[in-house]
Chain A
Amino acid sequence: MKNLRILAPLSIGAATCLLLQSCSKPPSAANQSANTPQGKLVLTGSSTVAPLASEIGKRYEAEHPGVRVDVQTGGSSRGIADARQRVADIGMVSRSLKGTEKDLQAFTIAKDGISVIINSDNPVKSLNARQIVDIYTDKINNWKQVGGLDAPITVVNKAEGRSTLELFSEHFKLKTEDIKPDVVIGDNEQGIKTVAGNPNAVGYVSIGSGEYAATHQTPIKLLPVAGVAASITNVSNGTFPISRPLNLVTNKSPTGLTKDFIDFARSQQAQDVVKEQYFVPVSQ
């Protein structure tokens, strides 16, 4: 085996492993001293809100060196439960509060909207809800059936567990098992590239990333939903139907550090973080 010399570097197998261990410690009580907040804030809940909250948290920590912001995921229901039992200072919930949850207080920090996108070479101008459902359940599989060219439809869907898929299927009353995709994608960017490269594809992405791509020479177009144009402006003023609020919830009226953080998350200082994460800032 004289060729060991070349084998050695080649055979270093790359085994990567994500050590994602949630270290759940009980939150230390938020320090009440008003002008220089100190202590630790624990946020738990929705995996949609978590990346945003964690970015806002980093910025907050940078401006308040005495504070640590700990963000943990586990779904909106965990956010509700933890905030209610005060296991967490703030719960993260990616929907409006239900009637049974009115004991909690919700603060919207951003909105999430999704738009259906198609290639700009596709002559189809709009699709109604019925058509979208039929396309995603494979009852319609040619663009001819919805007024387009005679070409098979490539259905682009999101991977299971993604919040965009959750919002999409919730809005169109689709079960994830019933969706018959031709391509499954991970993040928004991959969805945009897939639709841009395939004139017969239809997909859906977060409205922020879709609008950015469509206005920056990417050959895709955003379809209107129920006659409302898909745009950040329409999500922000509440007219666009496929959207939901991203909320921070607390057990009672927030005080001290908790209040300061929530105010910070809703202020102008956090708005660019919201846009970076392809969410829509709330109109103040």
Chain B
Amino acid sequence: MALLAAAIVLLIILFLVWETLPILQSIGLARFFNDSSWHPTSEEFNLLPMLWGTLLVTVGAVLIATPLGIASAIFCHYYAPRAIANLYRRLVELLAGIPSVVYGFWGLVVLVPIIGRIRPPGASLLAGILILTLMILPTITLVADASLTSVPPEYLRGCAAMGLGRWATVHGVVLPAASSGLLTGVILGTGRAIGETMAVLMVCGNVVQTPKNVFEPVRTLTANIALEMAYATGHHRAALFVSGLVLMVIVFVLVIAAELLNRGRIYV
């Protein structure tokens, strides 16, 4: 099974390279970062604004969702009464199960008009960040919850024996002990945020530009593929595969970074 999964990943990468090779050979990789803009039908292929879009939306969502997610896991574990904690966990699990298109639809008809009242047009980087925060929050919370559960009980008893307060226990012992699991949760959340397409497509505005503030619309690499694939031919279509390849490279770098960080932690 594992071998099959690995083979499929390799096949997908091979397929992407195969589809992008002709355009990379004929116009070169540099054009994807140096062209003046993204107008594939008139042979302009700058991907940088969309790369920024993907990175900003993802980083924004992860920055908001990480403290919230870890805080709510800590709340569940060490502060909330059992009944409330269980109810809360069920709700977060439910949140994790909502399909992305539902988040997107809700964002489009509720969130975007609200933001639009503050600063038009509403469909913006901010809307994307908020929707993605909602989407990755359950991932981070649930993984954090699981890693808090796996903190050995003797640590907690040791803390109690030393007369440490609740916050001192959490802050001084539990968080360092669970840090590897918490980090994994954040990485998984980041992966989900980078790859999210439908919800982001619906709320981000999709204008190809490098945003100057959070109220400006952006287009992500994933949204770019989904928006234009149906009608693209020739070089335009190949350029969309380059978007996919760039996305793949980002995820690859992320996985390697996570691996290195985690390795460091285990031996420290």
Contact residues of A with B, CB < 8 Å?
1-3, 5-7, 10-11, 13-15, 17-20, 47, 73-75, 151-152, 154, 159-163, 176-177, 181-186, 190, 193-194, 197-198, 200-201
Let me know if B15 and A17 touch, CB within 8 A: yes
DSSP class of B's interface residues: helix, strand, loop or mixed?
helix
Q: Smallest distance from the beta carbon of B112 to chain A beta carbons, Å?
A: 6
Q: Mask for B10-24, Cβ within 8 A of A = 1, else 0? A: 001001100000000
Name the B residues within 8 Å of A11 (CB-CB): 188
Cβ of B226 within 8 Å of any chain A Cβ, yes or no, is: yes
Let me know if B229 and A18 touch, CB within 8 A: yes
Let me know if B142 and A200 touch, CB within 8 A: no
Let me know if A162 and B108 touch, CB within 8 A: no
A18, B180: Cα distance in complex, Å? 35
A65, B236: Cα distance in complex, Å? 37
Give A187's nearest chain B residue, CB to CB. Answer: B230
Known: A47-B233, A183-B217, A197-B116. A6 touches B146 (CB 8 A): yes
Known: A182-B217, A183-B121. A161 touches B146 (CB 8 A): no
A95, B84: Cα distance in complex, Å? 64
Cβ of B56 within 8 Å of any chain A Cβ, yes or no, is: no
Known: A3-B143, A73-B233, A182-B207. A159 touches B120 (CB 8 A): no
Name the A residues within 8 Å of B42 (CB-CB): 176-177
Contact residues of B with A, CB < 8 Å?
9, 12, 15-16, 37-42, 44, 108-109, 112-113, 116, 120-123, 139, 142-143, 146-147, 149-150, 180-181, 184, 188, 191, 195, 201-202, 205-208, 217, 219, 226-233, 236, 244, 251
Name the B residues within 8 Å of A161 (CB-CB): 40-41, 228, 230-232, 236
Q: Which of B38, B112, B121 has the most CB of A within 10 A?
A: B121
Q: Smallest distance from the beta carbon of B254 to chain A beta carbons, Å?
A: 11
Known: A161-B236, A183-B121, A183-B123. A2 touches B109 (CB 8 A): no
DSSP class of A's interface residues: helix, strand, loop or mixed?
loop
Of the A-B pairs whose beta carbons lie under 8 Å apart in the complex, a sample of 20, sorted by A's number, is A3-B147, A7-B143, A7-B184, A13-B251, A15-B195, A20-B229, A73-B233, A151-B120, A154-B120, A161-B41, A182-B123, A182-B217, A183-B207, A184-B208, A186-B226, A190-B108, A190-B202, A194-B112, A194-B123, A197-B112
Name the A residues within 8 Å of B39 (CB-CB): 160, 176-177
A259, B155: Cα distance in complex, Å? 82
Let me know if B112 and A198 touch, CB within 8 A: yes
A162, B229: Cα distance in complex, Å? 10
A75, B232: Cα distance in complex, Å? 10
A1, B147: Cα distance in complex, Å? 9
Name the B residues within 8 Å of A197 (CB-CB): 108-109, 112-113, 116, 122
Contact among A13, A154, A190 with B195 in the assembled complex (CB-CB below 8 Å) = A13
